[in-house]
């Protein structure tokens, strides 16, 4: 599978550009789309699932299917979990999934029921199959969301902000579920502003900001951008307050003589600190605070 996005733009009637000249190649596996709220991620997702038309540019699937000309064929290949996933509260968990399976074109009842049970088992909801969907926990609702996205065995799975509002345990469980699914012959596009959702699952990542594509590459390549820019500072109380005003602070840990503070900066202006190896969160902050600001003003 392959998705080729060429010079894609979305400009609203008021002149606001949600997407500006987006060019991307997306292949099998997990692809992360990272950026702050308002960066244009959801607009791109809605275009890819045919819920919104671009102002210009094109999207080609497998080198031959045009998103504008072959909408029906592409829709049949898609599974989608939107950020604002909703369901019919009156339905039991299995009934909702059965309903979505019928919408996906599964008309043979016995095969549909078999697929529903198999999918509930895969996402860890089989024991809750007779519970009303509105009585599921937040994490279980997101798992039901991914189940409905997968029920028609799609080749392209698009997931928009899937772990927002989940507790850490459920977030890890959801990421592991997506990682397991990505071993199949599918494309999974994971859109998020949570760096942790990307770092442990995605082989390739794109960074969006203000509608523009700022970076495309592996998480390791993004981390490399931050080498020499992440510091561990040992600070007293007065320095602690100063540092919080001057630098993007990543973590703050109380120490015997004050504080240990991780910051992203070109230099630390004489504070007592040392360079440390960056991780993806450091790299994301470095890109947003420095490289993107430079890039936007160029």
Domain end residue (candidates: 200, 217, 234): 217
Q: What is the reported pLDDT for 297?
A: 44
Say whether both 170 and 148 belong to one domain.
Answer: no
Say whether both 162 and 59 belong to one domain.
Answer: yes
> What is the rounded CA–CA span in Å between residue 184 and residue 268?
46
Residue 259 has pLDDT above 80, yes or no: yes
Say whether both 162 and 112 belong to one domain.
Answer: no
Say whether both 57 and 105 belong to one domain.
Answer: no
Say whether both 162 and 69 belong to one domain.
Answer: yes
* pTM of structure: 0.84
Nearest Cα to Cα of residue 295 among 214, 189, 179:
214
Say whether both 122 and 242 belong to one domain.
Answer: no
Residue numbers of the domain that contains 165: 1-77+155-217
Say whether both 100 and 248 belong to one domain.
Answer: no
Beta bridge partners of 280: none
Say whether both 51 and 178 belong to one domain.
Answer: yes
Say whether both 252 and 213 belong to one domain.
Answer: no
- 109-118, 224-233, 238-247, 286-295: the lowest-pLDDT one: 286-295
Say whether both 175 and 147 belong to one domain.
Answer: no
Q: If you average pLDDT over every residue of the chain, what do you get? A: 88
Backbone angles phi, psi at 162, to 5 degrees: -75, -25
Mean pLDDT on 154-176? 83
Query: What 3-state DSSP class applies to 122?
Result: helix
Domain end residue (candidates: 217, 249, 270): 217
- pLDDT category at 54 given cuts 50, 70, 90 is very high
Q: What is the reported pLDDT for 104?
A: 82
- pLDDT category at 78 given cuts 50, 70, 90 is very high
Say whether both 150 and 58 belong to one domain.
Answer: no
What confidence tens digit (pLDDT) does each residue in 216-246 have?
999 999 999 899 999 999 999 999 999 999 9
Nearest Cα to Cα of residue 85 among 77, 94, 97:
97
What confidence tens digit (pLDDT) does each residue in 9-45 have?
999 988 889 999 999 999 999 999 998 888 899 899 9
Domain end residue (candidates: 197, 217, 237): 217
Mean pLDDT on 166-195? 84
CATH number of the domain to which 211 belongs: 3.40.50.300
Say whether both 31 and 133 belong to one domain.
Answer: no
Question: What is the total count of domains within the chain?
Answer: 3
More confident residue, 39 or 66: 66
- 9-23, 122-136, 151-165, 283-297: the lowest-pLDDT one: 283-297
């Amino acid at each position: 599978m392959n998705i080729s996005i060429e010079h894609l733009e979305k400009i609203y009637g008021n002149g606001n550009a949600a997407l500006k000249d987006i060019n991307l190649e997306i292949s099998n596996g997990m692809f992360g789309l990272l950026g702050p709220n308002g960066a244009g991620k959801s607009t791109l997702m809605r275009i890819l699932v045919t819920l919104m038309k671009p102002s210009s540019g094109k999207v080609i699937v497998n080198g031959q299917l045009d998103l504008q000309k072959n909408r029906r064929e592409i829709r049949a290949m898609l599974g989608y979990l939107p950020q604002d996933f909703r369901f019919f509260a009156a339905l039991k968990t299995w009934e909702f999934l059965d309903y979505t399976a019928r919408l996906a074109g599964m008309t043979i009842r016995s095969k549909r029921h078999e697929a529903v049970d198999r999918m509930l088992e895969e996402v860890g909801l089989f024991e809750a199959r007779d519970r009303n969907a509105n009585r599921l926990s937040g994490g279980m609702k997101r798992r039901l969301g991914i189940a409905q996205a997968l029920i028609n065995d799609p080749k392209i799975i698009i997931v928009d902000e899937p772990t927002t509002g989940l507790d850490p345990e459920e977030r890890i469980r959801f990421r592991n579920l997506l990682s397991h699914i990505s071993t199949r012959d599918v494309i999974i596009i994971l859109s998020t502003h949570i760096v942790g959702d990307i770092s442990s699952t995605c082989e390739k990542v794109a960074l969006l900001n203000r509608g523009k594509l700022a970076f495309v590459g592996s998480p390791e390549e993004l981390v490399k951008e931050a080498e020499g820019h992440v510091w561990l500072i040992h600070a007293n109380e007065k320095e602690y307050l100063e540092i919080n005003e001057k630098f993007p602070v990543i973590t703050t840990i109380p120490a015997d003589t004050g504080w240990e503070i991780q910051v992203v900066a070109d230099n630390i202006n004489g504070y007592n600190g040392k360079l440390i190896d960056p991780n993806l969160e450091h790299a994301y902050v470095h890109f947003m605070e420095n490289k993107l600001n430079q890039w936007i003003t160029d």
